[in-house]
């Protein structure tokens, strides 16, 4: 008998992929991190200008290391910046990329993508600028409603990000969002992509059964 968890993930992933497609996204379900990486690479040409924002799932499946490995000569990697000014400049250049690797803090069952950003560069590039956008997200980021998705972004993803960055915010002491106004807060820009309106399939969503990111 097939693994019940794998069966459920596949059913849910395919259901949400269909709902994302109804909203103009290109969407697919794959079972494993390795398949997610291969699917993402199938959308990318070697000579594309490629960049990315905060995208832990793309890191976890090995996509970012692959892009940094030398076979893709036109990457814009802001982590190579030596100064804050250079980092800002590289983030600006990312708007001209052929392919931008974005992310999702949560996705509602009806196919809406929710993100919270500190600076807003990632969410801005996801909605305008780069020719194509790729989002890799585990099915554990799927929430019942868009309100549930916002809650997940706020109660799960944001506090974990704050821990990762070692920030001095209430959630790093309590483990939950305290709706703070801390200067260190990453919770500055809330984005819901309700439809991929700029061009059918501009944003390609790869839903993954295997857990990636957080
Ligand atoms: S609003 Fe403040 S407390 Fe809530 S998750 Fe963001 S940084 Fe943490």
The CATH code of the domain that includes 92 is 3.40.50.10420
Task: Give DSSP secondary structure letters for 36-69.
Answer: HHHHHHHT--TTS-EEE-S-HHHHHTTHHHHHHT
Domain assignment present for residue 204? The answer is yes
Give the closest residue (by CA) to ligand 1 atom 5: 177
Containing structural domain, residue 106: 4-208
Cα(158) to ligand 1 centroid in Å equals: 7
Q: Mean pLDDT of successive 10-residue segments in the chain (214 residues)?
A: 91 98 97 98 98 95 97 96 96 97 97 96 95 98 98 96 93 95 96 88 96 93
- Structural domain tally of the chain? 1
Domain assignment present for residue 150? The answer is yes
pLDDT of residue 189: 97
Classify each residue of 91-103 as buried b or exposed e, where b means 16 or more C-beta atoms within 10 Å of its C-beta: beebeebebbbbb
CB-defined site of ligand 1, < 6 Å: 154, 158-159, 162, 169-171, 177-180, 182, 185-187
Domain assignment present for residue 213? The answer is no
Cα(98) to ligand 1 centroid in Å equals: 33
Domain assignment present for residue 165? The answer is yes
Domain assignment present for residue 121? The answer is yes
pLDDT of residue 197: 79
Domain assignment present for residue 214? The answer is no
Assign 108 to helix, strand or coil: strand
Domain assignment present for residue 155? The answer is yes
Task: State the Rg of the chain over Cα.
Answer: 17
């Amino acid at each position: 008998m097939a693994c019940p968890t794998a069966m459920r993930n596949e059913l849910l992933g395919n259901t949400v992929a269909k709902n994302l497609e109804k909203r103009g996204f290109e969407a697919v379900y794959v079972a494993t991190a390795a398949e997610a990486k291969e699917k993402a690479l199938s959308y990318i040409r070697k000579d594309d200008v490629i960049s990315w924002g905060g995208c832990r799932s793309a890191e976890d499946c090995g996509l970012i290391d692959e892009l940094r490995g030398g076979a893709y000569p036109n990457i814009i990697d802001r982590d190579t910046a030596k100064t804050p000014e250079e980092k800002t400049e590289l983030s600006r250049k990312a708007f001209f990329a052929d392919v931008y690797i974005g992310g999702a803090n949560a996705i509602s069952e009806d196919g809406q993508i929710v993100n919270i950003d500190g600076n807003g560069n990632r969410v801005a590039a996801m909605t305008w600028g780069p020719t194509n956008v790729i989002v890799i997200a585990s099915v554990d980021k799927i929430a019942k409603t868009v309100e549930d998705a916002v809650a997940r972004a706020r109660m799960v993803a944001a506090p974990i990000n704050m821990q990762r960055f070692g920030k001095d915010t209430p959630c790093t002491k309590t483990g939950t969002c305290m709706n703070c106004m801390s200067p260190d807060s990453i919770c500055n820009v809330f984005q819901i992509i309700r439809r991929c309106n700029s061009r059918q399939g501009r944003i390609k969503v790869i839903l993954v059964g295997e857990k990636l990111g957080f």
